[in-house]
Amino acid sequence: MRNAPALTGLVLSILLLPARGVVVAQRLPDAAAAGPAATATSQFVDPASGLSVNQLVQLALSRNADLMATRQRTVEAQGLLRQAGFRPNPVIETEFGSGSPTGSPGEREFSVGYAHVFELGGKRDRRVEVGRAGLDLARFEITDRERTLRAELQERYISAMASIRNLEAVAQQLEVTQQSFGVTQRRVSEGESPRVEQMVLQAEVGRLEAERLLLASEVQQELVSLRVIVGMDFNERLVLQPDGDRPPTTLSLEAALEQGLASRPDLAAGRQEETRAAAEVRLAHADRMPDLVGLVRYTDSQTRFDQFGLTATGALTPLQDRDRMLFGGLSITLPMFARNQGQIEATRARETAASLRRQYLARSIEAEIRAAYGRYLAAQQAVEVFRKAVVQPSQEGAAVLRASYAAGEVRLFDVLAVQRRLIDSQKEYTEAIRRAALARIALERAIGVPLQ
């Protein structure tokens, strides 16, 4: 790792570096003065006012609809936790009875009762425990979705920048070919070259122009995908800003494994799922205890007879009886048959399943880190090999050959063949850079934190 080459990673700052021997500006200047190569990419890249990958990440974290939907899990879990803390509602009931419909007009009765449920076995505390575990689980799931969203956005950014680099490479070759075409026209008019060379160069200019148009369309498609992830409207202007180079990490494989197993939010969510499942088991055991219901009832009963009696003053009055009674009692369900056995078995099974999923996830994360780490090292080495052994010699050779053609020392077909090989080499180099950048993103995604 100490000798690993510096990776032009997420930002592909090499996009701004022209091929050696090609007449273009080193940075993307004003389109009016920079020529076709800069004009082809200046609408997509602006080092001064474009959006960097970090700015895009921050926008996505605040505007991505899928992430916003995931964050609603916290609101949901908070509501469930609040509900779990409520005590059972008491019950008030009233009754009124009359004997008139049944031929006993003298009979009337009124009662009002109150029932209060006393939860036994610590059910409320167990429910709150499950609710708190669910809230923590929702938070871990949101953190994990932010991790994957960040990686998805960076991958789209890399793809967009790679397409822009390919577009600039073709635009540069188009510019050089147009210059060669002008030289050939002059030589043909002076009788120094056959007219077929002018026709071949004219066809090559058309081919490169068509390829440039296709690549420009590809860049537009990449920016559309980037807008979707960020949460931008399709009519919003999106111009990218290259960032600085990211040096290779010095993190060892052992440190990466240790950090990944400690930092991955999905693994933390797996552990929290175990915690919630264990709390559900305790709640199921608490539900075995029946609740105690306290009852209080007041009854007012009146009965009127057909006979008459005398009052204290000697007056006749109908005989009647009135009773006022206050009752109290307790009610409890006898757990003779159903003692929540099935729910206890189900929660224990969920607890076992959560533990097994967590163990499997830990092994999967370890394998993911190992694979991403190896791919990261190989991709960095491939970029350096391409840069030193392929791209630089190809650029220098093409420049020498173009100068030789301008001096009339080589054939046009040799120049075109070398230029096409140079374009292919530059595209392959861009692909190597893209893979290296994606490998770094994959390693960061596997570990769960950005690499330093």
Q: What is the pLDDT of residues 63-86, one digit of tens each?
A: 999 999 999 999 999 999 999 999
Kindly report the pTM of this predicted structure.
Answer: 0.77
Instruction: Work out the average pLDDT over 38-61.
Output: 87
Length of the chain: 452
Q: 92 exposed, middle or buried (CB, 10 Å; 0-12, 13-18, 19+)? A: exposed
Question: How crowded is residue 392: how many other Cβ atoms within 10 Å of its Cβ?
Answer: 15
d(CA 359, CA 154): 29
Q: Which residues contact 42 (CB under 8 A, 6 or more apart)?
A: 28, 30, 31, 34
What angle is formed at CA 272 by the lines to CA 268 and CA 274, rounded to 5 degrees? 120
d(CA 44, CA 62): 23
d(CA 415, CA 403): 10
d(CA 28, CA 434): 21
Q: What is the pLDDT of residues 277-329, one digit of tens each?
A: 999 999 999 999 999 999 999 999 988 877 777 777 877 777 778 889 999 99
Each domain of the chain, given as residue ranges in start order, spans 13-87+127-272+365-447
Cα 140 to Cα 90, 151, 254, 271: the distances in Å are 37, 17, 25, 10
H/E element, 302: strand 292-310
pLDDT of residue 309: 72
At the top level of CATH, the class of 13-87+127-272+365-447 is mainly alpha
- Rounded to 10 degrees, the C-alpha dihedral 8/14/15/18 comes to -170
pLDDT of residue 279: 97
d(CA 237, CA 160): 15
Q: What is the pLDDT of residues 255-288, one digit of tens each?
A: 999 999 999 999 999 999 999 999 999 999 999 9
d(CA 76, CA 71): 9
Q: 293 exposed, middle or buried (CB, 10 Å; 0-12, 13-18, 19+)? A: middle
- Kindly tell me if the per-residue pLDDT of 246 is higher than 50: yes
